Amino acid sequence: MSSVWARIEPLLARVQKPARYIGCEDGAITPRHDEFGPAGPVAWLLAYPDTYEIGLPNQGLQILYEILNERDDAVAERTYAPWRDLDHLMRVNDVPLFSVESHRPAAEFDLLAFNLSAELVFTNLVNMIDLAGCPIHGADRAPGDPLVVIGGHAAFNPEPLADFVDAVVLGEGEEVVSEITEVVAAWKAEGRTDRETVLRHLSQVPGVYVPSMYEVRYDGPRIVAVEARYPDVPATVDKRTVADLGDWPYPKRPLAPLTEVVHDRLSVEVFRGCTRGCRFCQAGMITRPVRERPAEQVRTMVREGLRRTGYNEVSLTSLSTADFSDIEPVVHGILEDSASAPGSCGNTTINLPSLRVDAFTVGLADEVNNGRRSGLTFAPEAGSWRLRTVINKLITEDDLYGAVDSAFSQGWTRVKLYFLIGLPTETDADTLGIAELATRCAEIGRRHTGRASVTVSVGGFVPKPHTPFQWFGQNTAAELQRKIDLIRGATHKVKGVHVKWHDPEASVAEGIVSRGDRRLGRVIERVWRDGGTFQEWGEHFDLRRWTSALEAEGLSLEQYVYRHRTVDEVLPWAHLTAGLHQDFLWDDWQAALAESGVEDCRWTPCYDCGVCTGYGIEHVVASPVPPAGGSQGTGQDLERGGEVPVTLLARRTASEALGVGA
Amino acid sequence: MKIRVRSTKLGKVRFVGHRDMARIWDRTLRRLGIPVAFTQGFTPRPRIAFGLALPMGAESLAEYVDVEIDTHHVDGHDLDLDGLPVAWSELLPDGIDVTVVDVPDVPVESLQESVTSCTWELWSPEITGEDLAAAVALLDADELLVERERKRERRTDDIRPLLLDLRPDHTGHRLVAELATTGRALRPAELCTLAFPHVDPLDVRVLRTHQWTSHDDDRREVLPLPVSVAAPDREVGA
Ligand code: SF4
């Protein structure tokens, strides 16, 4: 049980940005050194398989870090992917992957638990397991090796990682990490004999999937069945969901790093889940239902968080923050608190990411930006109303133009518009619609300012598991490039419009693993052995690594990326569920093809997707009616469902506490 | 109201860069509830001024920051200056401790302009007693021509006038060097290359122990420590 700091230190003098390896953040929890080892508490190493700058702000990791460290029977430290310069020096000097708190070798922990928020980091995960000095394949690990666990959104189809991981957590981790701790503690107490025993026990924890307990049967390229190997192993693994976010006011001690990171500010999650029903959006589908944090708690967490960290900026996070019932009183409350805090001079900035596209939202953004006009971002996602009904992103042109007009009229000079290309049923008319919307927005801008600029950001659509579009065949890189060129051609003479795009080849690589099966493990391993780490970093990405690995394994892009799936096909994740009925997803896919939208079930009747009804949980919202402003997803002439399962927060009390009328 | 602060930078935090240090001071001031005055203009900036940048990886017993406090928001008399070093150190990361807080009674020159030399300690397991003696002998030269690069421009400079003093420390393991900071200052790493040509400068540990100002022949430490502290053998534990 020893720190390897003395061996790391000489290497840090030779790498870029060494501060990312020293830990020492405000809010970091100093581990109990004496308590490591076989008789000690369960030691978790929480890992983020990307750089420190990207990983440190991750809220999921920070939440579990605190919950585990609050337990008497657990300790948790953190680690991030070493950048390539340090990775190289560590290998040359035989220094293993280490934690940033006590700089202990990763292999001395009981669990190595990765948070996966995207698919392109999968090769980094393999690399970090290897750097830890642990066999990369679960099957080769000894009882003394750490248990490799994954969680996070990209773990909802863990099949491509089945060879490398011991267990997978589906859904929210707040409760399940404690249950896992107890299973591992019991295993340690019994002398940590064989891995099979602990894995078998883990497979019985709700929300935990142990890939090695399941057998996949194939018929040629097709999967015939995925079956549990033992009768006590569940046939289907369901996700975990916390019923009430108000019970989990974490992080209480937010981490403030010593070096600059991507979201260098306080974050407070205002609600979880989103039922706008955008059909391309995996995050919205897998996090249902909506659970709002009580307004009063949000205000307290912001006040305490700012006081603890010394930040003067806070992000109120969620999948669509303007939908938070009490957004206005909360914003006013935060501004009031910060004006009265000592030393602040009242200059706190509130950041509202994922804004809705409407004028109400712009008014809100105007209130909170503290005079800064850095640019506003909207995501209409598709270029025509027709295509927006297909994807169920029900924004009218009036919504968009109204939002853009109020943004420019209130002093913003830069507006950014996010679009997806390669969506189902997309025609060139839809694609060119993107150029038209942007052109019109720039015209609106010029009425207010000569400096008006509209940036169109275009990403290739990658169909994701557990969404209605999981059956759709992704566009080829060439097709995506052609569409990008169409947009560029239609806008290159337009004053004030700039087009940016995501590399279509990166979308293809993401597509390979997104809906992949276990056979992709060997492909991921080949890409990693070929030096393919940091694949989401353009300078280190090369699609040829992926295509030649596929070829070497006798697999094809056609099979994994481009082809449409059929209704009778066994999807690789068929035995894993986010609670959404397969029938619901298929019907919604058919409704998409019929250009028929659905409403937001938090305010309108339930259409029984299966989540609330199946799990006995409910929406937790402070308001039974849609928020002011905007027609997005509401007020349309759409099909109605049945009764809404919803719990209303005691809102009056919250608003009174905030001193603002509800 | 201006306060001048002396602090340390020891241990793991030696890998935190100059710009990141500025962010840490900024956040800590807010946590202390000390309102910092802002510059006027379109993008107001906090009026916090740092002294001479410490090279990445170096440690220090003598770092300085000047902070202009916004007296519209707080009365200078309400500040508990005596308690400030302890309160501040508690909020700063391990290895960064505030050792002196001073309220200059006359306007002082900026740190960047007034500091004329710094004292450094340099050491490495690869540096022997003989190496130290040879290094000290550099003082015997009349001229030391070194080719250096600054702002993409290569030039040959005589750095001998910048070597104000070289001697072994009391343990006989470290080189104590006082280097001028005026003009094209000599960096500790450049001294290493010259004094210990067989050692990779990246393997040499560097500690700044003092920053000096001099007027005529009167050389003073910017803010002396209240009690005399011997050159530390101390290293902050990993
Ligand atoms: S079960 Fe009904 S109310 Fe709950 S998320 Fe699904 S559709 Fe919405």
String of DSSP letters for B144-199: -EEEEEETTEEEEEE-GGGEEEEEE-TTSSSEEEEEE-SSSPPPHHHHHHHH-TTS
Q: How far is CA A524 from CA A48, A137, A149, A294, B166, in A?
A: 18, 12, 17, 43, 57
| The residue type at A263 | H
Confidence of residue A656 (pLDDT cuts 50, 70, 90): very low
CB contact under 8 A, A310 and B31: yes
Provide the β-strand partners of residue A11: none
| The residue type at A361 | T
CATH at A370: 3.80.30.20
Q: How many CA atoms lie within 13 A of A41 on its CB side?
A: 20
Residue whose CA is at the smallest distance from ligand 1 atom 6: A609
Query: Where do runs of H (alpha helix) occur along B33-110?
Result: 84-91
> What are phi and psi for residue B89, nearest 5 degrees?
-60, -35
What is the model's pLDDT at position B149? 82
> Strand, coil or helix: what is A194?
coil
Residue whose CA is at the smallest distance from ligand 1 atom 4: A612
How far is the C-alpha of A227 from the C-alpha of A541, rounded, in Å?
A: 36
> Strand, coil or helix: what is A305?
helix
For the stretch A231-264, pLDDT in tens is: 999 999 999 999 999 999 999 999 999 999 999 9
Q: Does residue A353 fall inside a structural domain? A: yes
Q: Does residue A543 fall inside a structural domain? A: no
CB contact under 8 A, B93 and A258: yes
Sign of the CA dihedral with A113 first, then A116, A119, and A125 last: negative
For the stretch A176-208, pLDDT in tens is: 999 999 999 999 999 998 999 999 999 999 999
For the stretch A447-461, pLDDT in tens is: 999 999 999 999 999
The last residue of one of the domains, among A181, A205, A230, is A230
The boundaries of the domain holding residue A119 are 5-230
Contact A76 CB / ligand 1 (< 6 Å): no
**Ligand 1 centroid to residue A609 C-alpha, Å:** 5
Q: Does residue A259 fall inside a structural domain? A: no
Average confidence (pLDDT) over A26-43: 82
Q: How many CA atoms lie within 13 A of A452 on its CB side?
A: 22
For the stretch A417-468, pLDDT in tens is: 999 999 999 999 999 999 999 999 999 999 999 999 999 999 999 999 999 9
Please indicate if any CB of chain B lies within 8 Å of the CB of A89. no
Confidence of residue A366 (pLDDT cuts 50, 70, 90): confident
CATH 3.30.70 region(s) of chain B? 2-108, 114-221
Q: Does residue A117 fall inside a structural domain? A: yes
Burial of A606 (0-12, 13-18, 19+ CB in 10 A): buried
Sign of the CA dihedral with A299 first, then A303, A306, and A312 last: positive
CB contact under 8 A, A343 and B94: no
Residues of B with Cβ-Cβ distance to A345 under 8 angstroms: 35, 38, 70, 73
What is the model's pLDDT at position A371? 62
Residues 6+ apart with CB under 8 A from B174: B121, B122, B123, B132, B168, B231
Whether residues A290 and A155 share a domain: the answer is no
**Ligand 1 centroid to residue A606 C-alpha, Å:** 5
Domain count for chain A: 2
> Do A320 and A394 contact (CB within 8 A), yes or no?
no
**Ligand 1 centroid to residue A642 C-alpha, Å:** 10
pLDDT reading at A638 higher than 80: no
Q: Which helix (H) or strand (E) holds B233?
A: none
Whether residues A197 and A291 share a domain: the answer is no
> What are phi and psi for residue A301, nearest 5 degrees?
-65, -35
Residue A438's nearest CA partner among A455, A420, A459, A413 is: A455
What is the model's pLDDT at position A628? 60
What is the model's pLDDT at position B29? 94
Reduced DSSP (H G I as helix, E B as strand, rest coil) percent helix, strand, coil of chain A, to 5: 40, 15, 45
Contact A289 CB / ligand 1 (< 6 Å): yes
Q: How far is CA A92 from CA A7, A86, A291, B199, in A?
A: 12, 10, 49, 20
How far is the C-alpha of A274 from the C-alpha of A281, rounded, in Å?
A: 10
What is the model's pLDDT at position B76? 64
What is the model's pLDDT at position A660? 38
Whether residues A208 and A289 share a domain: the answer is no
> Do A296 and A270 contact (CB within 8 A), yes or no?
no
- Burial profile B82-93: b = 16 or more Cβ within 10 angstroms, e = fewer: eebbebbbebbb
CATH at A28: 3.40.50.2300
Please indicate if any CB of chain B lies within 8 Å of the CB of A22. yes
Residue A88's nearest CA partner among A20, A14, A2 is: A14
B26, B30, B84: best mutation site toward chain A, by most A Cβ within 10 Å?
B30
Q: What number does the ligand 1 atom closest to the CA of A614 have? A: 1
Contact A275 CB / ligand 1 (< 6 Å): yes
Fold exhibited by the domain B114-221: Alpha-Beta Plaits (3.30.70)
CB proximity under 8 Å: A 330-359 to B:
341-345
How far is the C-alpha of A138 from the C-alpha of A577, rounded, in Å?
A: 23
Write down the CATH number for the domain with range B2-108.
3.30.70
Sign of the CA dihedral with A74 first, then A78, A81, and A84 last: negative
Whether residues A280 and A225 share a domain: the answer is no
The last residue of one of the domains, among A213, A230, A247, is A230
Q: What number does the ligand 1 atom closest to the CA of A273 have? A: 5
What is the model's pLDDT at position B150? 78
For the stretch B159-174, pLDDT in tens is: 999 999 999 999 999 9
Whether residues A318 and A190 share a domain: the answer is no
Mean pLDDT, rounded, of chain B: 90
How far is the C-alpha of A380 from the C-alpha of A378, rounded, in Å?
A: 6
Q: What number does the ligand 1 atom closest to the CA of A288 have? A: 5
